[in-house]
């Protein structure tokens, strides 16, 4: 437990400095928590539950320490008094103490919590309740939500084929990154995400008549103008624009390879089945992330291994 004391019986840092430090520590903890969440596969229910429990405990410990430091500063007590306040707080979970024993219980002093301190305590309690609700909602989603059910269904489909998910990050490039991973796994051409985007865009440009009928304005349903078509191709090639059915078809033709898409809510589809080579298999997830649709890659289940997805993040994303 951290405590800060200075000379003349006064505690430092001052109230404002203490508040700023607490905010900084909370922000740093949030960053670490997010990093840990990103490192755990979405469909790993057991590890996600363990992580949620650890996060809740760590946040509670941090808040308890902050509470002790605030009370110690408000009461302007010595180091020994602050320690006594901390132990009583841990035992009674109270923000009001009427007396604290000092020096083997020979001296008693009153600790009165100021109105400002009470407001801070109330705000902190409200924040803890909010965080608890968030954790509860996340746990419910992990065990009962659409994302959990979709992940379980896809895992079953893959396991029947001796495969499991190989996650890729959701940064806009997920479809291309999943294809890249599959090409690498089969010792195919070493193409980067950027090169795959260029191949897809080039094929679409060269076969405008094949793709133009499917490119329409969302609001009016009108076909793209020539300028809009060119802009679309540029976005496919040069931005993190998400890839879908059209881009999958373009990639299949550009690579002369079938692309097989496994999904929970519909039968598996194959694009480019006119090419008689083993297909590249992708996973389509509708509920994987808050942003929506996402593609992952697959890999064989190791001998003696489980069916849950794994692997480190690569150059990829949604």
| Catalytic residue, candidates 44, 121, 171, 313 | 171
Q: Report which DSSP code applies to 216.
A: B
DSSP string for residues in 100-146: EEETTTTEEEEE---HHHHHHHHHHHHHHHHHHHHHHHHHHHHHHSH
- Going from the C-alpha of 62 to that of each of 15, 23, 87, 97, the distances in angstroms are 18, 11, 15, 21
Cα within 13 Å of Cα(67), Cβ side: 25
Task: Identify whether 171 is a catalytic site residue.
Answer: yes
> The tokens of 19 are what?
């508040």
Task: Identify whether 4 is a catalytic site residue.
Answer: no
| Catalytic residue, candidates 22, 253, 294, 296 | 294
Task: Say if residues 296 and 311 touch (Cβ distance below 8 Å).
Answer: no
Task: Identify whether 294 is a catalytic site residue.
Answer: yes
| Catalytic residue, candidates 22, 174, 253, 287 | 174
* 77 class by beta-carbon count within 10 Å (0-12 exposed, 13-18 middle, 19+ buried): buried
Catalytic sites, residue numbers: 171, 174, 294
């Amino acid at each position: 437990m951290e405590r800060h004391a200075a000379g003349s019986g006064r505690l430092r840092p001052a109230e404002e400095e203490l508040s700023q430090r607490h905010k900084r520590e909370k922000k740093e903890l949030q960053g670490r928590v997010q990093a840990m969440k990103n490192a755990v596969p979405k469909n790993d229910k057991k590890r996600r539950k363990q992580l949620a429990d650890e996060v809740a405990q760590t946040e509670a410990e941090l808040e308890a320490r902050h509470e002790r430091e605030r009370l110690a500063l408000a009461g302007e007590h010595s180091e020994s008094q602050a320690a006594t306040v901390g132990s009583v707080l841990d035992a009674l979970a109270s923000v009001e103490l009427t007396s604290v024993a000092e020096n083997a219980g020979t001296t008693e002093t009153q600790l009165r919590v100021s109105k400002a301190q009470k407001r801070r305590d109330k705000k902190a309690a409200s924040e803890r309740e909010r965080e608890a609700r968030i954790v509860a909602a996340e746990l419910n989603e992990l065990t009962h939500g659409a994302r959990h059910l979709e992940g379980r269904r896809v895992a079953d489909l893959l396991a029947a084929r001796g495969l499991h998910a190989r996650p890729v990050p959701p940064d806009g490039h997920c479809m291309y990154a999943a294809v890249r991973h599959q090409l690498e796994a089969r010792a195919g051409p070493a193409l980067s995400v950027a090169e795959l985007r260029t191949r897809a865009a080039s094929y679409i440009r060269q076969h405008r008549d094949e793709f133009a009928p499917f490119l329409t304005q969302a609001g009016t349903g009108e076909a793209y103008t020539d300028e809009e078509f060119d802009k679309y191709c540029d976005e496919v090639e040069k931005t993190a624009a998400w890839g879908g059915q059209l881009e999958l078809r373009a990639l299949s033709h550009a690579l002369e390879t079938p692309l097989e898409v496994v999904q929970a809510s519909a039968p598996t589809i194959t694009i480019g089945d006119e090419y008689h080579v083993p297909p590249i298999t992708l996973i389509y997830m509708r509920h994987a992330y808050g942003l929506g649709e996402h593609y992952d890659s697959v890999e064989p289940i190791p001998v003696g291994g489980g069916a849950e997805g794994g692997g480190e993040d690569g150059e990829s994303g949604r």
